[in-house]
Amino acid sequence: MKNKSTVKSHIKIYWLCLAILIIVLAITLFFSADTTESFRFRIFMTYAFSAWIPLIFLLFGEHVRLLRHIEKNYPEEFKKLYSRPYFGMHEQRSLSFSFLFSKNDLGDTNVKIMKFDIRGVMLSGPIVLLSVIIIFVFAIVL
């Protein structure tokens, strides 16, 4: 049973970077002298890629970080959570949503922090999608 937290949350840094990215691109888009469709499309694509690619890597990284922590400190729980039959042929190599959203943090503050980070990154997906649609509307349609 681990009670002392040795893990730092990364989700605030990601949210701050995403907010800065949105603000900078919105200012660039709205106050730019170049209003050609080509320029506006480049702004849109820059935002779309610079928002989605880090989100994917961050989700993968946070997931791996949690898995390694559980494997190192709780090998029995790791076996239960990580090795599940998948279509009868292989093992499912990821944590289930039920564990990520459950109150079961194995009594470890680090697991609680890492689960919070993963849920925060997962919440970022719909927010980024909505912002990409809004930027698309302003960049291309208007």
* Each residue's pLDDT tens digit, 93-127: 556 677 888 888 888 888 888 888 888 888 888 88
Give mean pLDDT, residues 20-38.
76
Name the band, by pLDDT with cuts 50, 70 and 90, for residue 88: very low
Neighbours of 104 (CB within 10 A): 14
- Distance, CA of 54 to CA of 10 (rounded, Å): 13
Question: How distant is the alpha carbon of residue 84 from its chain centre?
Answer: 24
- 10 Å CB burial of residue 118 (0-12, 13-18, 19+) is buried
- Distance, CA of 94 to CA of 97 (rounded, Å): 9
- The pLDDT of residue 36 is 78
Which of 46, 31, 2, 17 has its CA nearest to residue 121?
17
User: Facing residues of 86 across strands?
Assistant: 90
